[in-house]
Structure 1
Amino acid sequence: MSNYQRHQHSPVPPSNQQGAVLIVVLLFLILIILGGVIAVKQSTTDLKLATSDQINALLLQSADNANQNIEQSINGSSDADAYDAMISRGGPFGHFILTDFSIENEYVFCFRPRDQLFNINKTSIITPDGSLTSSGYCSPSKSDDYVSSRNTSMTQVNVALTPPNAENEAFGSYTIGQGSDLISSKAFMFDINSTAVLPAYGDTEVGGQDCFEQTSRLHTATTADYTDTIGGCMAKAGAPSKVVYEMADVQNQSLRTKCVDFGKGAGLLCTLPAS
């Protein structure tokens, strides 16, 4: 005789089934929310990177535009007004070539391409013991100081003589066969620092000090973070900026002769004039 037992399983109460479904739905909802948050953060990061690239491109273009205008003025026709303004006694190069001012001076002007390359009446001279004038610095409050009428970026140009270097050849800046007392026989090396800034994105002052009034000569900096230089000050203030450095060799091409040393290469030898 077989012993058969019948087992009966009680069905899961409907309330427990609904609770399990709710937990699963909540898990999917949390995953969807997390995916949305990650997507939003990624989009925000991409937007910041794109904005940063646009700002860097704008700053580089603004600073480089000033340097190109200076090059064109010097290398262009000597009859042009821009050339005369650059080389004149009140110009950024003539100030050092035609006067006896200290080699530590720094010539400053705000680049205003909508008006003219620079205005001699709106320049500043930074001296070792302070500024001689203060009308050349760029000012965020002046619409004319901006590169364009959109009042977005502005560029300040600082010109100074290149500091002496022990590696430079003695009398290498003088023309062979010309008297050293003649201004036209000497070549001058200049450091040109063009600083482009977006004042709308940050302050241009640190501790009450106007960053535009600081020097661009890094070798004269007295602070470890270079806050007493225009670039370091802008970085400390949080204002987006970019400094483009260029070394310019200003010389009288009508008197100077391009040649090579004796026995080296081909070309015109460095010989003294016959008379």
Structure 2
Amino acid sequence: MAYRSTEQGATLIVVLLFLVLIMLAGAIAVRQSTTDLKVATSDQINTVLLQSADSANQKLETMVNGSPASEGYKDVTSATGALGHFILFEENKVNEFIYCFNPRTQRYLTNSATVRAPAGGYVDSLNNGICDYTKATDYTSERQAVMTQMSIALTPPSANAGPFEHVVIGKEIEDRTSKKYQFDIRATASLPAYKKPETPQGVKCFEQSSIKANVATGEKSLNECLLAVGTPSKMLYEQADVENVSSSTKCYPFGRGPMNSRCVLSTP
């Protein structure tokens, strides 16, 4: 009887140990699954933000590299366009041109943009380009998930710049269209649906400058504000050179062959 009682006690202990091991294995599996899910979700968010920011850059490149007769080219290079604002007016070279990217429109003009001065404040009261997470039209799609804000500014002059580096080869230096302009383009994509891009004090992140050098002491840039409030975001920084490219037509073959038809005026 004593032997049988001892055997029953040992079996109970062994069963309890197995139960503990099974519980530990289950807890580890659940924790690992949760970690894998977070990693997968983070990767998906990163991909969506990257695509949204890159799409805004590509849209701008397509417009400026398109045909001079296209509406997109005219809009972006006109006096009120995103690039023409800097190219056609010398006094605008220190400004920051901001607009909320919407792939459903091709007009990025000053009347739908925010033009910010380096010291703060808006140039000529132009402040219509800040993305508003409460407006459905400011999102990049009808799902109202991703929002992208563009910031364009001329690259500050470098102390190591070479002489006449800003002049297009083969053009007169006095000609305004002969200059080569370098732009700093920042595309900031975020997910306001995941976390509201606003501080507890009511400071809206999208109203902050994307240029760190223009941020006042004690304040945060757009990227820093989004990071502080926990809104998933990604900023793509790109430097783009914009210059006037022209082609010449050979008119006089110096006695070899006929004259180019483009050089002959048509008779009425």
Shorter-chain TM-score above 0.5? yes
CA 1:12/1:247 → structure 2, altered by over 3 Å: closer, same or farther? same
1:49-198 pair list within 5 angstroms? 49-116=39-106, 118=108, 120-127=110-117, 128-131=119-122, 132-176=125-169, 178-198=171-191
CA separation in 1, counterparts of 2:23 and 2:217?
Answer: 49
CA contact (8 A) 1:185 1:252 kept: yes
In the alignment, is residue 249 of structure 1 matched against residue 230 of structure 2?
no
2:224 aligns to what? Answer: 232
Q: 1:119 to 1:173 in 2, by over 3 A?
A: closer
Name the aligned partner's letter for residue 187 of structure 2: S
Q: Cα distance 1:177–1:117, how it changes in 2: closer, same or farther (>3 A)?
A: closer
Once the two structures are superposed, the pairs formed by residues 194-209 of structure 1 within 5 Å of their partners are 194-206=187-199, 207-209=201-203
What's the CA shift for 1:233? 1.1
CA distance in 2 between counterparts of 1:15 and 1:118 reads 87
Maintained 8 Å contact 1:193/1:245 = yes
What's the offset of the Cα at 1:115?
A: 3.1
Deviation of 1:135 after TM superposition, in Å, equals 1.3
SS, match of residue 91 in structure 2: coil
Q: CA deviation at 1:218?
A: 2.4
> For residue 237 of structure 1, what is the amino acid of its counterpart?
V
1:123–1:136 contact (8 Å) kept in structure 2: yes
1:210 paired with 2:204, answer yes
- For 1:188 and 1:121, the matched residues in 2 are separated by 23
Using a 3 Å threshold, how does the CA distance of structure 1 residues 103 and 12 change in structure 2: closer, same or farther? same
Deviations 1:29-61 (A, max 9, x none): 110000000000000000100000110011000
**Cα distance, 1:176 vs structure 2:** 4.9
Which structure has the larger Rg over C-alpha atoms? Answer: 1
Per mean C-alpha deviation after superposition, the further-off stretch among 172-181 and 107-116 is 172-181
Query: Which SS does the other structure have where 1:163 is aligned?
Result: coil
Calculate the TM-score normalised by the size of structure 1: 0.83
Is contact 1:112–1:118 with CA below 8 Å preserved after alignment? Answer: no
Paired letter, 1:216: S
Matched letter for residue 98 of structure 1: L
Q: Which consecutive residues of structure 1, in runs of 5 or more, have no partner in the other structure?
A: 1-10, 257-275
For residues 81-110 of structure 1, give each alpha carbon's deviation from its aligned partner in whole angstroms, at most 9, with x where no partner exists: 010110011111111111243432100001
- Please say if residues 185 and 255 of structure 1, whose CA atoms lie closer than 8 Å, have aligned partners that are also in contact: no
Q: CA deviation at 1:190?
A: 0.5
Give the 3-state SS of the residue equivalent to 1:33 in structure 2. helix
Greater mean alpha carbon deviation, residues 200-209 or residues 231-240: 200-209
Q: What stretches of structure 2 of length at least 5 have no aligned partner?
A: 249-268
Task: Give me the whole-angstrom Cα distance separating, in 1, the residues matched to 2:186 and 2:151.
Answer: 5
Q: How many residues end up aligned between the 2 structures?
A: 244
SS at match of 1:208: coil
Cα distance in structure 1, aligned partners of 2:204 and 2:172: 44
Q: Is the 8 A contact 1:175 1:255 kept in 2?
A: no
Larger deviation, residues 238-247 vs 177-186: 177-186
Q: C-alpha root-mean-square deviation of aligned residues, in Å?
A: 2.0
Which shifted more, 45-54 or 197-206? 197-206
